[in-house]
Amino acid sequence: MSQPTDKYAWVYRVDDLDFDELSALYLSARLGEMPADALATVFENSMFMCLVYAGEVLVGAGRALADGLDCAYIADVAVHPDHQRRGLGQAIIRRLIELCAGHEKIILYANPGTEGFYSSLGFLRMNTAMGIWGDRERAIESGILSGQRGDDRPSARAR
Ligand SMILES: CC(C)(COP(=O)(O)OP(=O)(O)OC[C@H]1O[C@@H](n2cnc3c(N)ncnc32)[C@H](O)[C@@H]1OP(=O)(O)O)[C@@H](O)C(=O)NCCC(=O)NCCS
């Protein structure tokens, strides 16, 4: 049976990617300013990627940084607002999960408000996930980091 995502063309290589167009996609999806040269670095260093085109136009993207065996990290998933809510975002994640097959764990962090989207794809919350961000204050403000130290939990303080 044909799927709503069948009319899109899928590309899994960085070779012909226009990084300015990718940067514009992330801006339109409100993922913020991501300069083309920075995107070139992170995509070229990622083992897997999905680039989705409607005709000649890039309308969806995502990548996975992976070590080939143990851990794969999915990042920078976005769909152009004109193409959202058609199943494309789910299809990109499913395709990245398939590409990461064989890895012991596949991890990601959700932008606040998108947790439900990832739950429906089989992701569970990680109880002990912790991170160091370059711009810690902004990450706390946006809700990605909690601002608590790992040992600040009430159970640790009570000891
Ligand atoms: C999140 C995103 C990738 C989803 O793409 P999409 O193509 O719209 O998603 P789909 O059409 O595959 O969504 C299928 C289901 O996921 C859920 N879903 C989609 N977007 C969601 C969101 N932002 N929050 C919670 N659930 C969401 C819905 O249940 C949706 O089903 P519905 O249409 O019946 O409501 C897209 O909204 C996007 O690019 N957002 C901006 C960038 C971003 O936040 N990226 C994630 C970084 S962590």
Give the pLDDT band (50/70/90) at residue 134.
Answer: very high
Mean pLDDT of the 111-119 span: 93
Q: Which residues line ligand 1 (CB under 6 A)?
A: 29-31, 77-79, 84-90, 110-111, 113-114, 116-117, 120
* Residue 154: pLDDT over 70: no
Of all residues in the chain, the percent with pLDDT exceeding 70 is 92
Q: Which of 114, 115, 119 to mutate to test the pocket of ligand 1 (most atoms within 8 A of CB)?
A: 114
What's the predicted TM-score (pTM) here? 0.91
pLDDT, residue 157, reads 43
Of all residues in the chain, the percent with pLDDT exceeding 90 is 87
Which atom of ligand 1 lies at the shortest distance from residue 80's CA?
A: 39
Closest CA to 114 of 83, 97, 132, 90: 90
- Nearest 5°: the CA angle 105, 16, 66 is 15
pLDDT digit string, tens, across residues 9-27: 999 999 999 999 999 999 9
pLDDT, residue 6, reads 76
Mean pLDDT rounded to a whole number for the chain: 93
Mean pLDDT of the 51-56 span: 97
